[in-house]
Amino acid sequence: MNRISLTLTLAATLAATIGCSSKNYVRQQTTPLINKTNELDDLTAKNSKDIKDVDQRAQAGIQAVQARAAEVDQKALAAGKQADEAQLSANNATQRVDTLTNAVVNLDNYRSVAETSVQFGFNKDNLTKQAKEELDQLATSVASTKGYIITVEGGTDSVGSSEYNYDLSQRRANAVIQYLASEKSVPAHKIYLIGLGKDKPVETNKTSAGRAKNRRVDVHLMTNTTGTTPAPTPKTTPAPTASANPSSL
């Protein structure tokens, strides 16, 4: 009886020991797998979050690019429209200039309605008060003249080089053109520059008085239409002012 009891006790103890050993073994084998699975779940969750963040940024970037593209398209359309308008204006201006040029080629078809000569000081290209008054008087005939052009011819005396005198006469003519266009609202395409320099003196360059009269810009209001037109304005030539330097430009 005692031997049987001892045997049973030993068997129970051995079974318990084997059972505990089996559980520990299973636990040791499964724990790393469980931990690895948890890590994979965490990594998957993190990747999903990162993918979602990247997708949101990508969508935001795409929307921003689309918005900029639409803005660029609008600006391109506006620029294209402005370019078309500018081209149309240029074409119209070119057409007006071509028409005017063709008309001016033969000045014999025109007759003078009014004319004046504005004088300039020694080596000067600015309009004097008297010169502006003379241009104002000529401009009063513009509104009642049809088919008109205004010819401008700048001049100097013979003192100085041809190159310098050409530049000076250009500046004098430009002063007249700018005044008529800005102050008297004469369209620029109606004003035609027909001569510059010292090649057409109106007086001798051998005297101080003659050189003073050659420092001028001749302005003519002309028309190629027939009918009633204002009486020609008498050509005004102011008396030359005395100059301390006998040689003048």
118-136 per-residue burial string, b: 16 or more CB within 10 A, e: under 16: bbbebebbebeeebeebbe
pTM assigned to the model: 0.51
The CATH architecture assigned to 108-223 reads 2-Layer Sandwich (3.30)
DSSP per-residue codes, 105-118: T-GGG-EEEEEEEE
Lowest mean pLDDT among 140-144, 155-159, 170-174, 244-248: 244-248
The set of residues, in sequence order, having a beta carbon less than 8 Å from that of 190 and lying 6+ positions away, is 100, 148, 149, 150
The edge-to-edge listing of strands for the beta sheet with 111-119 is 111-119, 216-223, 148-154, 191-195
Say if residue 246's pLDDT is above 70: no
Q: What is the 3-state secondary structure (H, E, C) of 8-45?
A: HHHHHHHHHHHHHHHHHHHHHHHHHHHHHHHHHHHHHH
pLDDT band at 217 (very low <50, low <70, confident <90, very high): very high
Q: Token pair of 60, please?
A: 């935001």
- Facing residues of 222 across strands? 112, 149
Provide the pLDDT for residue 248. Answer: 44
pLDDT value of position 10? 61
Of all helices (H) and strands (E), which one includes residue 195? strand 191-195
Region 150-163: mean pLDDT is 88
Query: What is the spatial distance between Cα 168 and Cα 28, in angstroms, rounded to a whole number?
Result: 107
Is pLDDT above 70 for 215? Answer: yes
Q: What would the mean pLDDT of 49-58 be, rounded to a whole number?
A: 78
Sign of the CA dihedral with 153 first, then 154, 157, and 158 last? negative
- Cβ atoms of residues 146 and 189 within 8 Å: no
